Structure 1
Amino acid sequence: MSLAYRVAYRIGITPWEGAGEGGGAQLDALLDREQAGRSAPFGRAVDLGCGSGSHTIDLAGRGWEATGIDNVPRALERAQARPGADKARFVLGDVTRLADAGVAPGVDLFVDIGCFHGLDDEERSRYADGVTALASPTAAMLVLAFTRGRGPLPRGATRADLARWLSGWDVVAQEAADTSGMPKPMRATEPQFYRLRRAA
Protein backbone atom coordinates (compact mmCIF):
# COMPACT_ATOMS: atom_id res chain seq x y z
CA MET A 1 0.00 0.00 0.00
CA SER A 2 2.91 2.37 0.64
CA LEU A 3 3.73 2.79 -3.05
CA ALA A 4 0.07 3.36 -3.86
CA TYR A 5 -0.17 6.12 -1.26
CA ARG A 6 3.01 7.77 -2.55
CA VAL A 7 1.59 7.82 -6.07
CA ALA A 8 -1.79 9.08 -4.85
CA TYR A 9 -0.28 11.99 -2.95
CA ARG A 10 1.98 12.84 -5.87
CA ILE A 11 -0.93 13.11 -8.32
CA GLY A 12 -3.28 14.64 -5.76
CA ILE A 13 -5.96 11.93 -5.63
CA THR A 14 -6.55 11.37 -1.90
CA PRO A 15 -10.27 10.68 -1.31
CA TRP A 16 -9.62 9.38 2.22
CA GLU A 17 -8.58 12.90 3.28
CA GLY A 18 -12.01 14.33 2.47
CA ALA A 19 -13.70 11.32 4.03
CA GLY A 20 -11.78 11.86 7.25
CA GLU A 21 -12.76 15.52 7.39
CA GLY A 22 -16.41 14.58 6.76
CA GLY A 23 -16.43 12.52 9.96
CA GLY A 24 -14.75 15.26 11.97
CA ALA A 25 -17.67 15.85 14.36
CA GLN A 26 -17.68 12.20 15.41
CA LEU A 27 -13.92 12.17 15.99
CA ASP A 28 -14.24 15.39 17.99
CA ALA A 29 -16.80 13.70 20.25
CA LEU A 30 -14.52 10.69 20.73
CA LEU A 31 -11.60 12.95 21.64
CA ASP A 32 -13.84 14.90 24.01
CA ARG A 33 -14.49 11.61 25.79
CA GLU A 34 -10.76 10.95 26.15
CA GLN A 35 -10.31 14.39 27.68
CA ALA A 36 -13.37 14.31 29.96
CA GLY A 37 -12.56 15.25 33.54
CA ARG A 38 -9.03 16.30 32.64
CA SER A 39 -7.37 19.60 31.89
CA ALA A 40 -4.74 20.42 29.27
CA PRO A 41 -2.01 19.49 28.68
CA PHE A 42 -3.45 16.01 28.25
CA GLY A 43 -0.22 14.12 27.55
CA ARG A 44 1.44 12.70 24.48
CA ALA A 45 -0.55 11.63 21.41
CA VAL A 46 0.64 9.88 18.26
CA ASP A 47 -1.30 9.98 14.99
CA LEU A 48 -0.39 6.77 13.16
CA GLY A 49 -0.34 7.11 9.37
CA CYS A 50 -1.15 10.79 9.75
CA GLY A 51 -1.27 11.65 6.03
CA SER A 52 -1.48 15.40 5.59
CA GLY A 53 -1.78 15.93 9.31
CA SER A 54 -5.24 17.38 9.95
CA HIS A 55 -5.87 15.10 12.95
CA THR A 56 -2.38 15.66 14.34
CA ILE A 57 -2.87 19.42 14.23
CA ASP A 58 -6.31 19.07 15.81
CA LEU A 59 -4.79 17.06 18.67
CA ALA A 60 -2.12 19.71 19.20
CA GLY A 61 -4.75 22.46 19.20
CA ARG A 62 -6.69 20.60 21.86
CA GLY A 63 -3.70 20.49 24.20
CA TRP A 64 -1.98 17.22 23.37
CA GLU A 65 1.74 16.97 22.68
CA ALA A 66 1.00 15.60 19.22
CA THR A 67 3.24 13.70 16.81
CA GLY A 68 2.15 12.55 13.37
CA ILE A 69 3.97 9.67 11.68
CA ASP A 70 3.75 8.78 8.00
CA ASN A 71 6.08 7.25 5.40
CA VAL A 72 4.95 9.41 2.49
CA PRO A 73 7.13 12.54 2.19
CA ARG A 74 4.61 14.43 0.04
CA ALA A 75 1.89 13.90 2.68
CA LEU A 76 4.15 15.31 5.39
CA GLU A 77 5.03 18.30 3.22
CA ARG A 78 1.31 19.07 3.05
CA ALA A 79 1.01 18.55 6.80
CA GLN A 80 3.80 20.98 7.59
CA ALA A 81 2.21 23.62 5.34
CA ARG A 82 -1.13 23.53 7.20
CA PRO A 83 -2.11 26.30 9.62
CA GLY A 84 -1.25 25.19 13.16
CA ALA A 85 1.44 22.74 12.05
CA ASP A 86 4.01 24.57 14.16
CA LYS A 87 2.24 23.28 17.28
CA ALA A 88 2.69 19.63 16.22
CA ARG A 89 5.62 17.40 15.33
CA PHE A 90 5.76 15.37 12.13
CA VAL A 91 8.04 12.38 11.61
CA LEU A 92 8.86 10.55 8.39
CA GLY A 93 8.67 6.95 9.55
CA ASP A 94 7.08 3.53 9.29
CA VAL A 95 4.22 2.73 11.68
CA THR A 96 5.40 -0.89 11.68
CA ARG A 97 8.85 0.17 12.91
CA LEU A 98 8.02 2.78 15.50
CA ALA A 99 11.24 2.29 17.45
CA ASP A 100 13.13 3.55 14.39
CA ALA A 101 10.94 6.67 14.13
CA GLY A 102 12.37 8.28 17.25
CA VAL A 103 9.18 8.26 19.31
CA ALA A 104 9.90 7.93 23.02
CA PRO A 105 7.87 5.63 25.31
CA GLY A 106 5.07 7.04 27.43
CA VAL A 107 2.45 7.75 24.76
CA ASP A 108 -0.99 8.38 26.29
CA LEU A 109 -3.15 8.29 23.15
CA PHE A 110 -2.78 6.68 19.73
CA VAL A 111 -5.06 7.76 16.89
CA ASP A 112 -5.27 5.54 13.82
CA ILE A 113 -7.64 6.78 11.14
CA GLY A 114 -7.45 4.08 8.48
CA CYS A 115 -3.91 2.77 8.94
CA PHE A 116 -4.04 -0.61 10.71
CA HIS A 117 -6.76 -1.92 8.39
CA GLY A 118 -4.44 -1.77 5.37
CA LEU A 119 -1.53 -3.70 6.88
CA ASP A 120 -0.70 -7.33 6.13
CA ASP A 121 -0.28 -9.86 8.94
CA GLU A 122 3.45 -9.37 9.41
CA GLU A 123 3.03 -5.60 9.46
CA ARG A 124 0.19 -5.86 11.98
CA SER A 125 2.41 -7.86 14.30
CA ARG A 126 5.21 -5.26 14.14
CA TYR A 127 2.72 -2.40 14.49
CA ALA A 128 1.23 -3.98 17.62
CA ASP A 129 4.65 -4.60 19.16
CA GLY A 130 5.69 -1.01 18.52
CA VAL A 131 2.50 0.59 19.82
CA THR A 132 2.50 -1.54 22.96
CA ALA A 133 6.16 -0.81 23.66
CA LEU A 134 5.54 2.95 23.46
CA ALA A 135 2.25 3.06 25.38
CA SER A 136 1.93 4.43 28.89
CA PRO A 137 0.26 2.07 31.41
CA THR A 138 -3.06 3.91 31.01
CA ALA A 139 -2.87 4.56 27.26
CA ALA A 140 -5.88 4.55 24.95
CA MET A 141 -6.26 4.03 21.20
CA LEU A 142 -8.88 5.24 18.75
CA VAL A 143 -8.95 3.20 15.55
CA LEU A 144 -11.08 3.77 12.46
CA ALA A 145 -11.16 0.66 10.28
CA PHE A 146 -13.16 -0.67 7.37
CA THR A 147 -14.93 -3.86 8.39
CA ARG A 148 -14.14 -5.38 5.01
CA GLY A 149 -12.12 -4.20 2.06
CA ARG A 150 -13.38 -4.11 -1.51
CA GLY A 151 -11.42 -4.00 -4.75
CA PRO A 152 -8.42 -1.66 -4.45
CA LEU A 153 -9.42 -0.51 -0.94
CA PRO A 154 -7.51 -1.67 2.17
CA ARG A 155 -8.24 -5.20 3.34
CA GLY A 156 -10.18 -4.06 6.40
CA ALA A 157 -10.10 -5.13 10.05
CA THR A 158 -12.76 -6.36 12.43
CA ARG A 159 -13.01 -6.17 16.20
CA ALA A 160 -11.67 -9.73 16.29
CA ASP A 161 -8.65 -8.68 14.22
CA LEU A 162 -7.85 -5.89 16.67
CA ALA A 163 -8.21 -8.26 19.62
CA ARG A 164 -5.97 -10.81 17.90
CA TRP A 165 -3.11 -8.53 16.94
CA LEU A 166 -3.30 -6.03 19.77
CA SER A 167 -3.36 -8.67 22.47
CA GLY A 168 -1.92 -6.26 25.05
CA TRP A 169 -5.03 -4.11 24.71
CA ASP A 170 -8.74 -4.42 25.49
CA VAL A 171 -11.34 -3.34 22.92
CA VAL A 172 -13.72 -1.43 25.17
CA ALA A 173 -16.07 0.30 22.71
CA GLN A 174 -17.22 0.14 19.11
CA GLU A 175 -19.51 2.35 17.05
CA ALA A 176 -20.33 2.74 13.39
CA ALA A 177 -18.37 5.53 11.76
CA ASP A 178 -20.08 8.54 10.22
CA THR A 179 -19.89 7.84 6.49
CA SER A 180 -21.64 10.99 5.27
CA GLY A 181 -18.45 12.40 3.72
CA MET A 182 -17.28 9.12 2.20
CA PRO A 183 -17.59 8.01 -1.42
CA LYS A 184 -20.01 5.12 -1.94
CA PRO A 185 -17.29 2.40 -2.19
CA MET A 186 -15.95 3.46 1.22
CA ARG A 187 -19.42 3.51 2.78
CA ALA A 188 -19.91 -0.09 1.63
CA THR A 189 -16.98 -1.20 3.82
CA GLU A 190 -19.03 -0.47 6.96
CA PRO A 191 -16.28 1.45 8.78
CA GLN A 192 -16.20 1.31 12.56
CA PHE A 193 -14.55 3.31 15.32
CA TYR A 194 -12.94 1.24 18.05
CA ARG A 195 -11.67 2.40 21.41
CA LEU A 196 -8.96 0.35 23.07
CA ARG A 197 -7.33 0.58 26.48
CA ARG A 198 -3.98 -0.79 27.53
CA ALA A 199 -4.64 -4.09 29.30
CA ALA A 200 -3.92 -4.11 33.03
Structure 2
Amino acid sequence: MKGYSLAYRLGFTPWEHHGRVTRAHVDPLLAREETGRSRPLGRALDLGCGRGQHSARLARRGWEVVGVDVVPRAVDDARRRRISGATFVVGDVTDLAPSELGTFDLFLDVGCFQGLNPEQRLAEGRGVSALANPGATLLMLAFGATPIRSVIGGVSRAEIEGALDGWEMLSVDAADTTGLGWPLTRTSPRWYRLRLAA
Protein backbone atom coordinates (compact mmCIF):
# COMPACT_ATOMS: atom_id res chain seq x y z
CA MET A 1 0.00 0.00 0.00
CA LYS A 2 2.84 2.37 0.80
CA GLY A 3 4.29 1.70 -2.63
CA TYR A 4 1.09 2.95 -4.27
CA SER A 5 1.11 6.15 -2.22
CA LEU A 6 4.69 6.79 -3.33
CA ALA A 7 3.80 6.02 -6.95
CA TYR A 8 1.07 8.66 -6.94
CA ARG A 9 3.38 11.21 -5.30
CA LEU A 10 6.01 10.57 -7.98
CA GLY A 11 3.48 10.51 -10.80
CA PHE A 12 4.50 6.96 -11.77
CA THR A 13 1.22 5.14 -12.47
CA PRO A 14 1.77 2.73 -15.39
CA TRP A 15 -1.52 0.96 -14.68
CA GLU A 16 -3.36 4.08 -15.86
CA HIS A 17 -1.60 3.88 -19.24
CA HIS A 18 -2.63 0.25 -19.57
CA GLY A 19 -6.22 1.19 -18.73
CA ARG A 20 -6.29 3.73 -21.54
CA VAL A 21 -4.87 1.47 -24.22
CA THR A 22 -7.13 -1.48 -23.37
CA ARG A 23 -10.43 0.39 -23.18
CA ALA A 24 -11.72 -1.35 -26.31
CA HIS A 25 -11.22 -4.72 -24.58
CA VAL A 26 -12.94 -3.70 -21.34
CA ASP A 27 -16.07 -2.21 -22.89
CA PRO A 28 -17.39 -5.56 -24.21
CA LEU A 29 -16.99 -7.05 -20.73
CA LEU A 30 -19.05 -4.23 -19.25
CA ALA A 31 -21.61 -4.53 -22.04
CA ARG A 32 -22.04 -8.20 -21.13
CA GLU A 33 -22.85 -7.18 -17.54
CA GLU A 34 -25.45 -4.72 -18.77
CA THR A 35 -27.28 -7.17 -21.04
CA GLY A 36 -30.83 -7.65 -19.80
CA ARG A 37 -30.62 -4.88 -17.20
CA SER A 38 -33.07 -2.02 -17.23
CA ARG A 39 -32.00 1.60 -16.74
CA PRO A 40 -30.71 2.76 -14.37
CA LEU A 41 -28.24 -0.11 -14.42
CA GLY A 42 -27.61 -0.29 -10.68
CA ARG A 43 -24.76 0.43 -8.31
CA ALA A 44 -21.13 -0.46 -9.03
CA LEU A 45 -18.17 -0.48 -6.65
CA ASP A 46 -14.75 0.19 -8.17
CA LEU A 47 -12.27 -1.50 -5.81
CA GLY A 48 -8.88 0.21 -5.73
CA CYS A 49 -10.25 2.94 -7.99
CA GLY A 50 -7.13 5.12 -8.06
CA ARG A 51 -7.93 8.39 -9.81
CA GLY A 52 -11.23 7.08 -11.13
CA GLN A 53 -10.30 5.95 -14.62
CA HIS A 54 -12.60 2.92 -14.59
CA SER A 55 -15.16 4.66 -12.37
CA ALA A 56 -15.60 7.29 -15.08
CA ARG A 57 -16.14 4.59 -17.69
CA LEU A 58 -18.77 2.87 -15.56
CA ALA A 59 -20.57 6.15 -14.83
CA ARG A 60 -20.67 7.09 -18.53
CA ARG A 61 -22.29 3.74 -19.22
CA GLY A 62 -25.08 4.45 -16.71
CA TRP A 63 -23.92 2.89 -13.46
CA GLU A 64 -24.13 4.70 -10.12
CA VAL A 65 -20.50 4.32 -9.09
CA VAL A 66 -18.63 4.42 -5.82
CA GLY A 67 -14.85 4.31 -6.09
CA VAL A 68 -12.82 3.30 -3.05
CA ASP A 69 -9.06 3.54 -2.66
CA VAL A 70 -6.66 3.58 0.29
CA VAL A 71 -4.47 6.34 -1.22
CA PRO A 72 -5.92 9.76 -0.24
CA ARG A 73 -4.07 11.57 -3.01
CA ALA A 74 -5.59 9.32 -5.66
CA VAL A 75 -9.09 9.80 -4.23
CA ASP A 76 -8.59 13.58 -4.08
CA ASP A 77 -7.55 13.54 -7.75
CA ALA A 78 -10.64 11.46 -8.63
CA ARG A 79 -12.93 13.87 -6.77
CA ARG A 80 -11.41 16.85 -8.59
CA ARG A 81 -12.47 15.26 -11.88
CA ARG A 82 -16.12 15.81 -10.84
CA ILE A 83 -17.34 12.70 -12.63
CA SER A 84 -21.11 12.79 -12.95
CA GLY A 85 -22.62 9.65 -11.43
CA ALA A 86 -19.53 8.75 -9.36
CA THR A 87 -18.48 9.39 -5.79
CA PHE A 88 -15.15 8.54 -4.22
CA VAL A 89 -14.15 7.54 -0.72
CA VAL A 90 -10.86 6.89 1.00
CA GLY A 91 -11.13 3.36 2.28
CA ASP A 92 -9.47 0.00 2.59
CA VAL A 93 -10.79 -2.81 0.37
CA THR A 94 -9.99 -5.19 3.23
CA ASP A 95 -12.36 -3.31 5.55
CA LEU A 96 -15.49 -2.52 3.53
CA ALA A 97 -18.37 -1.27 5.66
CA PRO A 98 -21.94 -1.88 4.40
CA SER A 99 -23.26 0.86 6.69
CA GLU A 100 -21.08 3.42 4.92
CA LEU A 101 -21.13 2.16 1.34
CA GLY A 102 -24.49 0.46 0.85
CA THR A 103 -24.97 -2.50 -1.47
CA PHE A 104 -23.95 -3.12 -5.07
CA ASP A 105 -24.90 -5.00 -8.21
CA LEU A 106 -21.46 -4.96 -9.83
CA PHE A 107 -17.93 -4.99 -8.45
CA LEU A 108 -14.88 -4.11 -10.52
CA ASP A 109 -11.39 -4.99 -9.34
CA VAL A 110 -8.66 -4.10 -11.81
CA GLY A 111 -5.38 -5.21 -10.28
CA CYS A 112 -6.22 -4.56 -6.64
CA PHE A 113 -6.91 -8.05 -5.28
CA GLN A 114 -3.72 -9.46 -6.80
CA GLY A 115 -1.54 -7.18 -4.67
CA LEU A 116 -3.00 -8.32 -1.35
CA ASN A 117 -1.62 -10.99 0.94
CA PRO A 118 -3.76 -14.10 1.64
CA GLU A 119 -5.40 -12.67 4.78
CA GLN A 120 -6.21 -9.41 3.01
CA ARG A 121 -7.72 -11.29 0.07
CA LEU A 122 -10.03 -13.16 2.43
CA ALA A 123 -11.00 -9.84 4.02
CA GLU A 124 -11.79 -8.28 0.64
CA GLY A 125 -13.85 -11.34 -0.24
CA ARG A 126 -15.87 -11.08 2.99
CA GLY A 127 -16.44 -7.38 2.43
CA VAL A 128 -17.54 -7.78 -1.17
CA SER A 129 -19.92 -10.57 -0.15
CA ALA A 130 -21.42 -8.40 2.58
CA LEU A 131 -22.01 -5.55 0.10
CA ALA A 132 -23.42 -7.69 -2.72
CA ASN A 133 -27.05 -7.58 -3.78
CA PRO A 134 -28.58 -10.93 -4.82
CA GLY A 135 -27.21 -11.92 -8.23
CA ALA A 136 -24.36 -9.39 -8.08
CA THR A 137 -21.39 -9.94 -10.37
CA LEU A 138 -17.68 -9.30 -9.93
CA LEU A 139 -15.24 -8.57 -12.74
CA MET A 140 -11.61 -8.94 -11.74
CA LEU A 141 -8.45 -8.40 -13.75
CA ALA A 142 -5.45 -10.10 -12.20
CA PHE A 143 -2.02 -11.30 -13.20
CA GLY A 144 -1.43 -15.01 -12.94
CA ALA A 145 0.58 -16.80 -10.28
CA THR A 146 3.75 -16.56 -12.36
CA PRO A 147 7.39 -16.72 -11.14
CA ILE A 148 7.52 -12.89 -10.99
CA ARG A 149 4.41 -12.53 -8.81
CA SER A 150 6.52 -11.71 -5.76
CA VAL A 151 7.54 -8.50 -7.53
CA ILE A 152 4.36 -7.41 -9.30
CA GLY A 153 1.60 -9.44 -7.68
CA GLY A 154 -0.54 -12.20 -9.08
CA VAL A 155 -3.05 -14.83 -8.03
CA SER A 156 -4.36 -18.16 -9.16
CA ARG A 157 -7.96 -19.04 -9.89
CA ALA A 158 -7.99 -21.21 -6.78
CA GLU A 159 -6.87 -18.27 -4.64
CA ILE A 160 -9.65 -16.10 -6.04
CA GLU A 161 -12.28 -18.78 -5.50
CA GLY A 162 -10.96 -19.45 -2.01
CA ALA A 163 -11.43 -15.81 -1.02
CA LEU A 164 -14.89 -15.53 -2.57
CA ASP A 165 -16.80 -18.31 -0.89
CA GLY A 166 -20.37 -18.41 -2.15
CA TRP A 167 -19.51 -16.94 -5.55
CA GLU A 168 -19.74 -18.96 -8.77
CA MET A 169 -16.97 -18.61 -11.35
CA LEU A 170 -18.75 -17.87 -14.63
CA SER A 171 -15.76 -17.36 -16.90
CA VAL A 172 -12.01 -16.90 -17.08
CA ASP A 173 -10.69 -15.09 -20.15
CA ALA A 174 -7.19 -14.16 -21.21
CA ALA A 175 -6.64 -10.40 -20.96
CA ASP A 176 -5.02 -8.34 -23.66
CA THR A 177 -1.41 -7.40 -22.85
CA THR A 178 -1.17 -4.52 -25.32
CA GLY A 179 0.77 -1.66 -23.79
CA LEU A 180 1.96 -3.60 -20.76
CA GLY A 181 5.58 -3.95 -21.80
CA TRP A 182 8.11 -6.46 -20.54
CA PRO A 183 8.05 -8.14 -18.00
CA LEU A 184 4.34 -7.58 -17.48
CA THR A 185 3.57 -9.27 -20.80
CA ARG A 186 4.78 -12.46 -19.05
CA THR A 187 2.18 -12.28 -16.24
CA SER A 188 -0.66 -14.21 -17.92
CA PRO A 189 -3.36 -11.67 -16.97
CA ARG A 190 -6.93 -12.96 -16.83
CA TRP A 191 -10.40 -11.49 -16.53
CA TYR A 192 -12.42 -13.40 -13.95
CA ARG A 193 -16.20 -13.10 -13.88
CA LEU A 194 -18.06 -14.32 -10.80
CA ARG A 195 -21.65 -14.19 -9.61
CA LEU A 196 -22.93 -14.38 -6.07
CA ALA A 197 -24.68 -17.73 -5.78
CA ALA A 198 -28.38 -17.66 -4.97
Taking structure 2 as the reference length, the TM-score comes to 0.94
In 1, Cα distance between the equivalents of 2:92 and 2:68?
7
Contiguous gaps of at least 5 residues in structure 1: none
1:116 equivalent in structure 2: 113
In 2, Cα distance between the equivalents of 1:61 and 1:101?
26
1:54 equivalent in structure 2: 53
Matching residue within 117, 123, 128 for 1:126: 123
In 1, Cα distance between the equivalents of 2:35 and 2:170?
16
Matched, 1:90 2:88: yes
Regions of 4+ moved over 4 Å: none
2:41 equivalent in structure 1: 42
The alignment's C-alpha RMSD in Å is: 1.5
In 2, Cα distance between the equivalents of 1:185 and 1:102?
39
1:196 equivalent in structure 2: 194
1:99 equivalent in structure 2: 97
How many residues are aligned here? 196
Q: Name which of structure 1's ranges 182-191 and 90-99 shifts more when overlaid on structure 2.
A: 182-191
SS across alignment from 1:50: coil
1:74 equivalent in structure 2: 73
Q: Which amino acid aligns with 1:162?
A: I
Distance 1:100 1:134, change over 3 A: closer
Contiguous gaps of at least 5 residues in structure 2: none
Q: Name which of structure 1's ranges 130-139 and 14-23 shifts more when overlaid on structure 2.
A: 14-23
Write out aligned runs for 1:116-155 (5 A): 116-148=113-145, 150=148, 152-154=151-153
Q: Which amino acid aligns with 2:95?
A: R
In 1, Cα distance between the equivalents of 2:187 and 2:21?
16
1:47 deviation in Å? 0.3
Distance 1:100 1:197, change over 3 A: closer
1:177 equivalent in structure 2: 175
1:33 equivalent in structure 2: 32
CA offsets 1:86-112 (integer angstroms, 9 cap, x no match): 42100100000001782113x100000
1:40 deviation in Å? 2.1
In 2, Cα distance between the equivalents of 1:33 and 1:190?
22
Matching residue within 177, 183, 187 for 2:185: 187
Q: Percent identity?
A: 48
